Structure 1
C-alpha cells in the first residue's frame, strides 16, 4: 500500500477535484492513540490493490496537521473523529467511519460505482 501524504489544507481542494475522476480515501491518524495505530495497521494488512481499484489513499497525521483535520470536517461536513476514514467521490464524502469499524472490507463495500 502506498499512502499519499496529506499535510496542507490546500491539498483538500485538489483532492475534492480529483474525486470526480477517481474515489479518494482519507485516513486520519492520531500518532498518540493505540486504537488509531491498530486501525492503521489493520487497513495496511488488509489492503488488496486489485480490490481497491482506482481508490487513491491519503494519510493524515492529525497531530502534526490539525488544521487540515479541521478543514476536512468542515469541507466534507463530517464530525471529527480519530482515527477516521472518509471516502470522497464526486466532491462529497460518501462514507465515513471511525475507530474499530475501520476496515478495508468496509471501505471497498462503500465505494460508489
Structure 2
C-alpha cells in the first residue's frame, strides 16, 4: 500500500476513525529515521493496511498532537499501529523493523 503523508488535524482524525492504520513520525534529517522509514515502506509494500507518515520538521504541531492524544512521549522516528482508535503497538529508532510490524499486525 502507498504511504500517504498527512499534514492536517482532520487527516489525523480520519486515521483514528479507521479500523486499523500504521503511522510513522519521520525526521527528514536523521539517518536512523531514514532507516526506519525504509523498514516501514518495506512492510507497507506487502500489506493492505492504510499507512501514513508525518514529516516532523514540516508538521511539528501535528506530531505533538499525536504524542498528546495517545499520551506517548514524542520520539523520532516513531511508529504506531492503531486499531479502533487505540495504539496497540509503538516503537522508535532501531526497533522499527518490517519483521516487527508484520508480527504485531497479524
Q: Give me the TM-score of the superposition, normalised by structure 1.
A: 0.85
Shift of 1:43: 2.8
* Structure 2 stretches lacking a partner, 5+ long: none
**1:61 and 2:58 correspond:** no
- Whether contact under 8 Å (2:78, 2:93) holds in the other structure is yes
Across the two proteins, how many residue pairs are aligned to each other?
A: 106
State the distance in 2 between where 1:74 and 1:4 align.
22
Matched with 1:40 is 37
Aligned equivalents of 1:78 and 1:89: distance in 2?
A: 16
8 Å contact kept, 2:28–2:34: yes
For structure 1, list consecutive stretches of 5 or more residues without a partner in the other structure: none
State the TM-score, normalized to the length of structure 2: 0.90
Contact persistence 2:43–2:102 (CA under 8 A): no
| RMSD of aligned alpha carbons | 1.6
Q: Contact 2:5/2:54 (CA < 8 Å) preserved in 1?
A: yes
CA 1:91/1:55 → structure 2, altered by over 3 Å: closer, same or farther? same
TM-superposed CA distance for 1:39, in Å, is: 1.3
